[in-house]
Amino acid sequence: MLGQAIDPETYDYMGAVIWQLNASVLWHRFTIRVRRELAMRAGIRVKDFADVARVSYVKVGEYQRRGLIHFHAVVRIDGPDGPDTPPPSWATPDVLEEAVRAAVASTEVTADRPDTGKEVALTWGQQLDVRRIDTTGTDAGVLAGYIAKYSTKSSGASNSGIDRPVRSREAIDCLPGISPHHRAMMRAAWDAGGQARRWCHMLGFPGHFLTKSKLYSVTFSRLRTARRLHRLADLLDELGRSDDDVLIVNEWAWTGTGHRSTAEYELAAAIGERQRKHQQSMRESKVESSKE
Q: Evaluate whether residue 170 is within a structural domain.
A: yes
Q: Evaluate whether residue 235 is within a structural domain.
A: no
User: What is the tally of structural domains in the chain?
Assistant: 1
Q: Evaluate whether residue 257 is within a structural domain.
A: no
Q: Evaluate whether residue 233 is within a structural domain.
A: no
The residue range of the domain holding 111 is 13-217
In whole angstroms, what separates CA 35 from the centre of its chain? 22
Q: Evaluate whether residue 48 is within a structural domain.
A: yes
Q: How does pLDDT run across 40-65, given as a tens digit for each residue?
A: 999 999 999 999 999 999 998 888 88
Q: Evaluate whether residue 71 is within a structural domain.
A: yes
Picking from 30, 209, 195, 203, the residue whose alpha carbon sits closest to that of residue 103 is: 30
Q: Give bridge partners of residue 75 from the DSSP assignment.
A: 57
Question: b/e for 170-198, b at 16 or more Cβ within 10 A?
Answer: ebbbbbeebbebbbbbbbbbbbbeeebbb
Picking from 184, 198, 214, 212, the residue whose alpha carbon sits closest to that of residue 80 is: 214
Q: Evaluate whether residue 77 is within a structural domain.
A: yes
Does the pTM surpass 0.85? The reply is: no
Residues in the chain: 292
pLDDT of 159 over the 50 cut: no
Reported as a pLDDT band with limits 50, 70 and 90, residue 2 is: very low
pLDDT of 18 over the 90 cut: yes
